[in-house]
Structure 1
Amino acid sequence: MIMVTGGTGFIGNVLIRQLSNLGYPIKLLIRPSKASPNFPIGVPLEVAISSFSDAKGLRAAMKGVDIVYHLASAESLGRKAELTPVDVQGTEMLVQAAAQAKIDRFIYLSHLGADSSSAYPALKAKGRAENAIRNANFPYTIFRSAIAYGERDHFSNGLAFLLKISPFFVPLPDNGSMLLQPIWVDDLVNALIWTIDMPQLANEIIEIGGPEYLTFKEICLIISEKIGVKRQFFNVPPVYLNWLTEILEIITPNFPTSVFWMDYLASNRTTALDALPRMFSLNPARMNQRLDYLEGKNFRKNWWKFILRRKRTIPRWD
């Protein structure tokens, strides 16, 4: 039995679908909520309900579980995110329950740049969560991933929305010169799944990303071309753009950027280009090959639907 946390989110949905297609029995861990979670449609799975602060509930959820995929995070809530209770303390509680259940493998999705001493809250929280996993008494694999993109992501869809509604000019921090290494969600999920059958990756921290280094400006240009808009870019000091992002998050519900974007864009977020081919014999997709889902999308209409839907729900872990 495989347990997945954060399975109602963007990456979690893809992971659960692929695990199900391969015939794995799946248990989805969700927090108690009055709202209906975003379950993967048409996928047979077992559901366990427990908060990360409920030790008894987590122990019960671990019954029959052999492998845990821990993807849950509060990051998507932006400035409202409670990273310490969810990403740090939640992981510590989950680790304790997994250790007591004597699971076979604990697989955690982290970020490039994760460090418990980082000055950036999201990366610091991920680093502290990693430490809890490394100190546990079970085999683990930690994936420090570059930013993932795909049909339901916040990254490429958020950028496309901003580029679409902007009045010809788009602000970029430090001229958009920082390097990123976007990874197609299917490539990321394949690596996560194949790890199950790779005992040599037990007790390892793996850094993975896509097959190319792209500046943030280059990514904006690729997305602009895909959605059929032309924009001029101008430099804005990161601190001012961070302030603007915080203001927009306050006055606009579920604005498609978050304060954590500035953390990611504060420096280069890259790793070795050959990581996926070398470790998984996987030839990863280039970003401009996998953005067809952006074509013809009505971002304004979809955004309002997203806002109205999220207003009726209670924030989840994804």
Structure 2
Amino acid sequence: MILITGASGFVASHLIPRLHKDGHQLRCLVTNEAEGARIQAPGAELAVGNVTDTEGLRAAMAGVDTVIHLVAIIREFGPNTYHKINVVGTQNVVNAARDAGVKRFIHMGILGASPDPRYTYLHSKWLGMEAVKNSGLDYSILQPSVMFGQGAGFVASLIRSVNMVPFIVPIAGDGKSRLQPIWIGDVVSCVLKMVAGEKSGESCPVGGPEIVTYETMLDELLRAMGKKKLKVKIPRPLMLPVVAVMDKLFANPPISMGEFKSMEIENTTEPDAVENQFGFKPMPLRDGLGYLKKA
């Protein structure tokens, strides 16, 4: 039995069908039955609860051999802070797994996770990873760079910035922040290898085969969308108050303050990280953006 937290999220929407196809017995943690109705795995069990509900987590862990912990927030909303969900929530899942005698714990970390508390989102992910590493469980941690593919949040944010203003696309800073975008299908393939027992006790940073700048990734998205727009670079000090205002006024701004700060940290690893650690070549960015033609 595999328990998947965050079962209605982006990564899970691609991972669950693959696990189901491979014949795994699944239990999906969802916050309500409406979320559960979106799970693409006929016959999968549903456990209603969340990472702040310790009693619900204990019940969800009954009979579970492997946990795949995918829950995290990249944007704070209401009482759901980075600390509450990414740190305390992860510790709650770790505690429940340990108490239930779970054999394997697979955690979705992030490339660029930082011990520096100035970067609130990246720091919360670092603290969550530390909780897993110190859990005493047989763990594996995957640390992907920004992901692309149907439903990817980072790409969706870029599309909102493209569509926000006619004729131009604003770029915060010089556009030279470096990223290593990785296809969600390749992230799923890495997780499946961890489910099979690979990378026990390891934290694995992964990215796609190319290291690109923020501006280059934006160019690729524009090309895939069939759009031509003037790019306008705005110094980060001038963008800071604009991002702060958008963060307060909009429920889903093109960029949050946490994401804005995170762009100061390079989001890259070795170009051949996936091939060296998992034995296959990941998809280049340009080959995986066909789904954006109608965006």
Contact 1:160/1:227, CA 8 A, preserved across alignment:
no
Residues 1-318 of structure 1 mapped to structure 2, 5 A cutoff: 1-31=1-31, 33=32, 36=35, 39-41=38-40, 43-77=42-76, 81-199=80-198, 201-297=199-295
Q: What secondary structure does 1:57 align onto?
A: helix
1:235 and 1:283, CA in 2 relative to 1: closer, same or farther beyond 3 A?
Answer: same
Rounded Cα–Cα distance in structure 2 between residues aligned with 1:220 and 1:245: 18
Q: What secondary structure does 1:175 align onto?
A: coil
The AA in structure 2 aligned to 1:6 is G
Quote the offset at 1:154 in angstroms. Answer: 1.8
Contact 1:116/1:126, CA 8 A, preserved across alignment:
no
1:221 and 1:81, CA in 2 relative to 1: closer, same or farther beyond 3 A?
Answer: farther
Contact 1:248/1:255, CA 8 A, preserved across alignment:
yes
Per-residue CA deviation, residues 68-98 of structure 1 (Å, 9 max, x unaligned), is 1111012245687411111111111111110
The AA in structure 2 aligned to 1:225 is R
Rounded Cα–Cα distance in structure 1 between residues aligned with 2:237 and 2:184: 30
Q: What secondary structure does 2:150 align onto?
A: coil
Tell me the TM-score normalized by structure 2.
0.93
Quote the offset at 1:234 in angstroms. Answer: 2.6
Rounded Cα–Cα distance in structure 1 between residues aligned with 2:192 and 2:293: 29
Alignment root-mean-square deviation, CA: 2.0
1:284 and 1:143, CA in 2 relative to 1: closer, same or farther beyond 3 A?
Answer: same
Report how many aligned residue pairs link the two structures: 295
Greater alpha carbon shift after TM alignment, 37-46 vs 212-221: 37-46
Quote the offset at 1:7 in angstroms. Answer: 1.4
Rounded Cα–Cα distance in structure 2 between residues aligned with 1:287 and 1:181: 9
Q: What secondary structure does 1:28 align onto?
A: strand
Q: What secondary structure does 2:169 align onto?
A: strand
Identity of counterpart residues, as a percentage? 28
Q: What secondary structure does 1:141 align onto?
A: strand
* Larger RCO (CA within 8 A; separation ≥ 6): 1
Query: Which runs of 5 or more residues in structure 2 are unaligned?
Result: none
Greater alpha carbon shift after TM alignment, 170-179 vs 230-239: 230-239
Rounded Cα–Cα distance in structure 2 between residues aligned with 1:277 and 1:178: 24
Per-residue CA deviation, residues 122-158 of structure 1 (Å, 9 max, x unaligned), is 1110111111111112100111110111111122233
Q: What secondary structure does 2:38 align onto?
A: coil
The AA in structure 1 aligned to 2:192 is I
Rounded Cα–Cα distance in structure 2 between residues aligned with 1:87 and 1:180: 22
Q: What secondary structure does 1:188 align onto?
A: helix
The AA in structure 2 aligned to 1:286 is P
Quote the offset at 1:171 in angstroms. Answer: 2.1
Contact 1:163/1:229, CA 8 A, preserved across alignment:
no
Rounded Cα–Cα distance in structure 2 between residues aligned with 1:277 and 1:182: 15
Quote the offset at 1:10 in angstroms. Answer: 0.9
Per-residue CA deviation, residues 258-315 of structure 1 (Å, 9 max, x unaligned), is 2232133113210011111111111111111111111023xxxxxxxxxxxxxxxxxx
Aligned to 1:310: none
Rounded Cα–Cα distance in structure 1 between residues aligned with 2:77 and 2:172: 18
Rounded Cα–Cα distance in structure 1 between residues aligned with 2:33 and 2:60: 19
Tell me the TM-score normalized by structure 1.
0.86
Per-residue CA deviation, residues 134-186 of structure 1 (Å, 9 max, x unaligned), is 11121001111101111111222331232134232222222100110000000
Quote the offset at 1:64 in angstroms. Answer: 1.1
Rounded Cα–Cα distance in structure 2 between residues aligned with 1:63 and 1:43: 20
The AA in structure 2 aligned to 1:290 is G
The AA in structure 2 aligned to 1:249 is D
1:216 and 1:248, CA in 2 relative to 1: closer, same or farther beyond 3 A?
Answer: same
Rounded Cα–Cα distance in structure 1 between residues aligned with 2:203 and 2:110: 11
